[in-house]
Every structure is written in C-alpha cells, then in structure tokens.
Structure 1
Amino acid sequence: MTLVGVVFVSYFCLVNSQTPFNVASDCCEETAENLQTVLQRLTSLEKAVTTLKTENSNLRQNSSGLAAMQQELMEIKSKQQPVAFFAEMSQDLTNPSTGQTVVFDQVLTNVGNAYSPTTGIFTIPVTGTYNFNVVLSSPNNNDANHYMHFFILQNGRKIAYLFLDHNTDYWIHTSSSSVVQGTKGDRVWLSVGVAGGSHVLAGHRLGEGEIHTHISGFLIQAD
C-alpha cells in the first residue's frame, strides 16, 4: 500500500477509535482493500496512459517517416519522367534579324510539354543531362553575299553554332548538336546571331512533305 493509503487508513481508523475494536478492525480492513483496489486501478490507468503516449509517439514518427518516403518517391518519379521534343518550322523565315528567336511552331513530339511552339523556348523541367539538336536549310539564293549565323542558347549562353553562307545555285543544309547539364527552369532556344543580305530559312514546303528546318531535344539522365 502507498503512503497515501496508509495515512488515509490510519486517519480513518483514528476517527473511528470509539468504535468497538472488532468493528473498527473490520472497517479498516475493508477500507484498505477498497483503497488497494483503487490504487491498482490507478496504477493500471497510469500504465495504459504511458502505453498510449508511447504508441502516439511511434505513430508520429511513423507518420513523419511515411511523409519522407512519399517525398522521396515523388522525387524518384520526377527523375524518371521522360522528356523529349521535336518541332519544325511550318513556314519559311525570310530575312530574320540579329537576335531574333527562331520559333519552331509545328510540334511533332512534346513529351513532358516543356517546349513552347508559341515562344520557341524549351524550359528544362528536370535537372539533368540533355541533348539538343538543330537542323537548318536554306534554298538557292541570288544574293551571293548573304549570310546567316545561329546559336543554340541556354539562358543566353552559347552552346552550339550553325551558319548558312553564300549559297547561290544550290540548297545548303547544316546541323549541330550539344550535350549540356541543365538545371530545372533553364531555358534553351535558337537565336539568330548575325545575318546579312537577302536570305531564307526554309520551312516545311507544301507538296514536298519535307521537314527542312527543325529542332529537337531530350533528357539523357536526370540527376
């Protein structure tokens, strides 16, 4: 019996000291038994509360662990997300100016929807290693002094260079590709570097069914 129980029983027996000994003794024993039962219940409840607290703490830890696992799963899924695009120019681009963005408005492939046929800009959706490729064509030209130079830009930084110069009695065709490390949010596009004279960047020609000028890119490996 705890100290509280002993004191309570002693007090109860003292108060009832005028009661005959055998009656008082029975009363004290009954009270002690009742107190003992209450104390046992209290002890049991304390253990139950302690158990519940432990279980609650474990649940919180498990919940935090589950949230971390879900976040990790989302990151893994994002890294496995396929990214690829392929687009062409549907019309000829005549005498483009220096600094102009070449817009490939006809989209054939856009897995991940990272390329915009409106702006001509590809926005990197997942950090990783990418490949970009550009093919340009220009028809025969009467201006022998014409020239067009182009750059593939990543956030304004040159990552590839192409040029179409001085073709007169024949078509000219050029291409370039680049493998770069890209960070989510980076922008990639084709820009006119310098241009002079009279010139045409060939788009898709009706009746020919040929894709003369196009851009493509894809995610090689996510970080």
Structure 2
Amino acid sequence: MKRCSVAFLLLLFCLSEAHRELREMVVEQRVQLSLMEARVSASEELRDEVLRLRATVAEQRVQLSDVDEDSKDLRDEVLRLGATMVQQRETLSYTEDRVAASEDEATELRDTVVEQRVQLRHMESRVAASEEEAQEQRSLDRVMAAKVSESESQVADNQARLEATEVNVQDHQARLNATETRLETTETRLDVTETRLEATEVQVEDLEKQSEVMAAYVSESESQVAELGVRVTDHQSRLEATEVYVEDHQARLNATETRLEATKVYVEDHQSRLNATETRLNTTEVQVEDLEEQSEDQPKVAFSVGLGSGRIGPYSSDTTLIYQKVFTNVGNGYDPSTGIFTSAVKGVYHFRFTACDDTPSSYVDIQMYKDGQLLIYNNARISPTSSWTYVSNGMILELEQGDTVYMRMRGGYRLTDDSNNHNLFSGFLLYAM
C-alpha cells in the first residue's frame, strides 16, 4: 500500500510537470502565432492557416484547462486517500498490536488456567487421600471405642466380682488373686489403649486442621478459577470485538483499494487524453516550424516612421511627405531623406498610414502613391468645435523589385504632429515571390 501511495504521488508529480510543460508550449506557440499573424495577416492562404492554428490552440487551451481541473481534483483525491490510508494503516497497526497483546494475554491466561486446574486436581487428589485416611482413622476409632466399651464392661464385671469376692474373701482368695492379676493386665491394656486413643485424637485434630487448610486453599483456588474464567470470558469478548473491528477495517480497506483502482483507471484515461493532446501539439509545432522556416527563408523588410513635431504645410502645391522619425527600418527600404520606400525584392507588401491635424474648420488631406500612381486619397473635415481629427487607411500591394511607395499631401492643406506621434507611415514584406 505504501508503494501504491508513492506511485500515485510520483504520477501526480509527473502530471504536474507535463501540464507545466504543456502550458509553456502553448504560451510559446501563442507568442509564435502572434508573430506569424503580424507577418501573414494580409495573406488569405496564410490567414486561413493562422485561423486554423488559432482554433487548434484555443481547443488545446480548453482541453488543458479541463485537464488542469481534473488533475487538481485528482491531486486532492489522491492526497485525501493518502491521508486516509496513513490513518487507517496507523489504526490497523494499533489494532494488530492490541490483538497481539490480547492473544499473548489470553495465552498466558490459558496457561495459568491449565496450571491452576492441574494444581486443583492435585489438591483434590490430596484431599481425597486425606479423607480416606480420616475415614480409616474413624474406623479405627470406632474399633477402639468398642474395645474400650468392652473393657469398661469387663471392669464393671470385675468390680462386681470383686465385691462378691470381698464378701467371700476367705473363700475365694485364690480366685481374687487371679482376678487382681487379670485386672492389672486389663488396666495395662487400658492405659495403652488410652495412650493410643490420645495419639489418634491428636492425629485426627491435625487431619482436621489440614482438611480446613485444604478446604480454604480449594475455595481460594475455585475463586481464582472463577475470576480467571470471568477474565477469559471478558478477553474473549474483547477479542471478538477486535475481530469485528478488524473485519470492518478490512472492508474499508477493500473499499479504498477499489476506489484506488477506479482512480488508476481515471488517471490512465487522463494520461491517454494528455498523450493525444501532446500528439496534436507536436503536429502543431511541426506546422509552426514549417511556417517559421518558410518565414526565415524570406527577406526581412519592415519600416515604421513618424512625421515629426510641429505643423507641416500648407504648401502651394502637392508635396511628398518626408517622415523624419524613423522607429524601424529593417532592410533599409525607407529613405528618410526623400520619404520614399523602395522595394528590395519582388513580393507582397502591407502598408498603412495615419494622418492628423487639429485646425478647426479645416481638412485632413492625405494620399498614397505607387510609382507616381495614386492609390488612396482620404479627406476628412475637422469640426469647428473639436480638434485632433484623424484619417487612417492601409493596403496590400504586390510590388516588383525597385517599385516605390510614398505619401503626399495636396497644396493648401497641413498636418500637425507632436511627441505623441499622431502621423505614422509603416509597411512590411508579407512574403517574397
């Protein structure tokens, strides 16, 4: 499971890097496309190509936005799943430790119960042996009691006979002596019997004390066994609850694994979509590179100039405007001393101009010429209540090498300019022919 988490984090990092590279590629393509649009805005064929590339980039941008959102959701989901997996792994580890401790404790309790049962059986055997010995001693006591009773009867008989003998002492002297001898023997036997009886009583008392001690020990063992039984039952209940808890966590882990599998499928689908996007980006890059190669092979011609500060005109006749502020003059096609642009190569060019004046109730008048031929004429009246009136126009021309393009103003009109560059004239080569 740790390897799965690391793999998903690595995959998430790779996706982030891939998205970042895709965004950089799209930004670069947008910059390149903007440059190409500035170069090929006047060509119908290249305009169609640029529009198609722009649509492709827009579609890829939308797809990239969708992938970014999906990747963000996926990243959040993976992080949340990773945190859940870590928490569940810690809980499972803690549960496994508790289960192992409970199993060890249950094993110790089982061993203790078995040992207590063995001791109890041993004590029961000893108690049974003691009871048998006590029973035998009681039998001996009953026999001795019978013998004592018999001796007492004999003593009573002897006493009676002694009384009779005393009455008839003289007649029965010989019998009295014999009786006294038998009486002494009986007394001796009686003393021996009393001694044995006392010893037997002492033994019986000792046995009774041992029986009481054994009974107390047996009662204590039974209490311990009952307590151990209660503890075993409690541990069994806890073990069953732990098993249910582990089964629940196992089910949750299985559900998490199922969600991870679904996430894998989701990531693989997005990876496929990313691969398709990369393929389309590669195709677009190849097309842009082809266009760049075509553009690099073409000559570089572009200029942008300003009229200058102050008022220009009015002149008595039509005058070619000389734009003195040169902002750009790639290829040196524009001559700042004459105000005329001369084409260095045959090709298609784009030209644009802006004219401005601030004289109320006057006119802004401007013309574009090619090799002495009037191409554009613009004239705009300036309102009496306003100032800074502008005229702007442009054209795409096919020029031969050495053709000229320039701006003229008719006699009687003027233009006004300052540091804000209100009057501009610019042009550039779209492609050579």
The two structures have a TM-score, normalised by structure 2, of: 0.30
Which residues of 2 match residues 1-223 of structure 1 at below 5 A?
80-91=298-309, 92-141=311-360, 144=361, 146-170=362-386, 171-192=388-409, 194-196=410-412, 199-203=413-417, 205=418, 209-223=419-433
8 A Cα contact 2:323 2:339, kept in partner:
yes
**Whole-Å Cα distance in 2 between the matches of residues 117 and 98 of structure 1?**
21
Q: 3-state SS of the aligned residue for 1:98?
A: coil
Cα distance change on mapping 1:125 and 1:97 into 2, 3 Å = farther
Partner letter of residue 407 of structure 2?
L
Distance 1:84 1:99, change over 3 A: same
Shift, 1:162, TM fit = 1.9
Contact 1:161-1:176 at 8 Å conserved across structures? no
Instruction: Tell me the matched-pair count.
Output: 138
In the alignment, the residues of structure 1 paired with residue 399 and residue 316 of structure 2 have an alpha-carbon distance, to the nearest angstrom, of 28
CA RMSD of superposed structures (Å): 2.2
Q: Deviations over 1:23-79 (max 9, x none)?
A: xxxxxxxxxxxxxxxxxxxxxxxxxxxxxxxxxxxxxxxxxxxxxxxxxxxxx9996
CA distance in 2: counterparts of 1:128 and 1:116, whole angstroms:
19
CA displacement at 1:107 relative to structure 2? 0.1
Structure 2: 5+ residue stretches without partners: 1-293
Instruction: Give the direction of change, closer, same or farther, for the CA distance of 1:78–1:152 in structure 2 (3 Å limit).
Output: farther
Greater helix content: 2
Deviation at 1:176, TM superposition (A): 0.7
Moved more, 213-222 or 158-167: 158-167
Determine the C-alpha separation between the residues in 1 that align with 2:316 and 2:332. Answer: 28
Higher relative contact order (CA 8 A, sep 6+): 1
Partner of 2:335: helix, strand, or coil? coil
**Of Structure 1 and Structure 2, which has the larger fraction of its residues in strand?**
1
**For 1:79 and 1:149, how far apart are their aligned partners in 2?**
39
Answer with 1 or 2: which has the greater Rg: 2
Moved more, 162-171 or 102-111: 162-171
Superposition TM-score, scaled by structure 1 size: 0.57
- Give identity over the alignment, percent: 28
User: Which secondary structure does the structure 1 equivalent of 2:345 belong to?
Assistant: coil
Q: Report what 1:41 is aligned to.
A: none
List alignment gaps of at least 5 residues for structure 1: 1-75
User: Structure 1's 77 and 184: CA in aligned 2 closer, same or farther, altered over 3 A?
Assistant: farther
